[in-house]
Amino acid sequence: MMTMEQVFARPKSMSKTPFHYCPGCDHGVVHRLVGECLDELEVGDKAIGVAPVGCSVFAYDYFNFDFNQAAHGRAPAVATGIKRVRPDRIVFTYQGDGDLAAIGTAEIVHAANRGEKITVIFINNAIYGMTGGQMAPTTLVGMKTATSPYGRDAQLCGNPIKVSEMLATLEAPVYVTRVAVNTPANLMKAKKALKNAFRLQKEGKGFTFVEVVSICPTNWGKSPTDAHQWLAEKMLPVFPLGTYKDTLGVDKS
């Protein structure tokens, strides 16, 4: 008789609610990685998520633990309040690039600078997804969006903001890394980074930040495959993958 082993299942931290994300969107993939990491670290029942507006505003539907739905850009401040009251919980924010790198710039910089013991997951898809594809602070020069129909003009709108590089200049953060989920190899690295970040928080080490260079097939007007190709060709040269700060050397261990 053959014994069957289950090799793939829904992470315990995740609910049965089907994703509302567009087909092929990276949001769902990253959600799953978050769920797997929390399960593996056995902190799924201790997690508290904070989801501000953006396509992932309904993130709370897909996880089984407590959630706070925050205002646009304010998740790091809300997470600060939660973590200060409940230091034994694993508190994370899940933010888009419009959210984190435009309206919420002050909140992210200062939460990082204070060394809040939270984890920030930053989905950089170079666009405002939820509101229909407007230019984001991370939009590439020349990239066409609803509000940059002639392509982003650096003279008029500046250049894409490199958040990981910026935050890595601060003293307090213990882990700042940029990953992608466009290939199986990158996906494995992304999972390792998320797990490092959550583990560091579990150990009470300090502020951790994982930027995920992502796609928005719908607003980019590309198929998911083409979008991932475009990400590799156009986005990664501007947003190079890698760890920008690793105070405790967790990437090597």
Ligand X SMILES: Cc1ncc(C[n+]2csc(CCOP(=O)(O)OP(=O)(O)O)c2C)c(N)n1
Nearer to ligand SF4, 137 or 217 (CB): 217
Instruction: Give which of ligand SF4, ligand X, Mg ion, none residue 196 binds (C-beta under 5 to 8 Å, depending on kind).
Output: none
Residues 68-97 that bind another protein (CB under 8 A): 68-71, 74, 77-86, 89
Where do runs of H (alpha helix) occur along 87-158? 97-98, 105-114, 154-157
Q: What is the CA radius of gyration of the chain?
A: 17
- 77 or 210: whose CB is closer to another protein? 77
Judged by CB under 6 A, which of 63, 65, 128, 175 binds ligand X? 128
21 makes contact, choosing from ligand X, ligand SF4, Mg ion, none, with CB < 5 to 8 Å by partner type, with: ligand SF4
- Distance, in Å, from the CA atom of 176 to the CA atom of 197, rounded to the nearest integer, reads 9
Distance CA 63, CA 65 (A): 6
Dig out the tokens for 164 from the structure.
């990981």
- For 170-230, give the DSSP string: SSS-SEEEEEE-SSHHHHHHHHHHHHHHHHHHHTT---EEEEEE---HHHHTS-HHHHHHH
217 binds ligand SF4 (CB under 6 A): yes
Least CB distance from residue 250 to ligand X, whole Å? 27
Site string for Mg ion, 104-133 (x = CB under 5 A): ---------------------x---x----
**In angstroms, rounded to a whole number, what is the distance separating the alpha carbons of residues 91 and 65?**
11
Q: Quick one: which of 14, 25, 136, 163 contacts ligand SF4 (CB under 6 A)?
A: 25
Q: Does 55 bind ligand SF4 (CB under 6 A)?
A: yes
Question: Shortest approach of another protein to residue 219 CB, angstroms?
Answer: 19
